[in-house]
Structure 1
Amino acid sequence: MSNELDAVFGALADPTRRAMLSRLTSGSMTVGELAEPFEMSRPAISQHLKVLEKAGLIERTASAQWRTCTLRAEGLNDAAVWVEEHRRGWNERFDLLGERLRELKNPELKKEKGNE
């Protein structure tokens, strides 16, 4: 799973690829439609699409001369699970840190807690 997760996070690390994914939330597009707002060469667009496809975030299909890209939201599932698992741990640590900071600001809280 680590390689797939690395591919997803690597794909999401680039702002152009994130923008492409955002554009695909409104539906499938041809490569030309998808590339329209980006000021870059066709080979550069193609490279971004390869990264997104390899990460499982889009699907590319060919029909005659048209190449269509479709969002594959399920490609984000493993990343969402990983983030959620780690968010719980981070939140617990932040809660403990917040509690410790309150104790340091108000030593009476620590005394009261110790008497329980």
Structure 2
Amino acid sequence: MGARQGAVLHRRTQGLRSQDQPVPGAAIQAGRHGTELQAARIFLYAAASKLDRKAPDASKWSAMAKRFVTDVGFNVANDALQLHGGYGYLHDYGIEKLVRDLRVHQILEGTNEIMRVIIARALIGRQ
């Protein structure tokens, strides 16, 4: 979750005009991203709690949280890269590394497509 939040904070500072007023599109996206990141954080903590308690539906919640959190993180970082325009690809800004690193998290420990299969099987009652 820290890298995703870094993308939002980085864009927030880069999206300010000299009068310290947010660029309108960046402000709207920052509000949306902040909400999505908080929802992802809450979901992640709920899934971790279920794992700690060895709840019977912990694997379903873990798959849901992994899919949701990594997708939100990638989308937030990708939006930050896009808001930077061509500069987002430059090493100087650090956004390109966040996008690269967060994309990998959608693949590691089972792709998000596999997570969707695990979730679907749990929801329809097949393990």
TM-score relative to the length of structure 1: 0.28
Structure whose residues are more often helix by fraction: 2
TM-score relative to the length of structure 2: 0.26
Q: Specify the structure having the higher radius of gyration (Cα).
A: 1
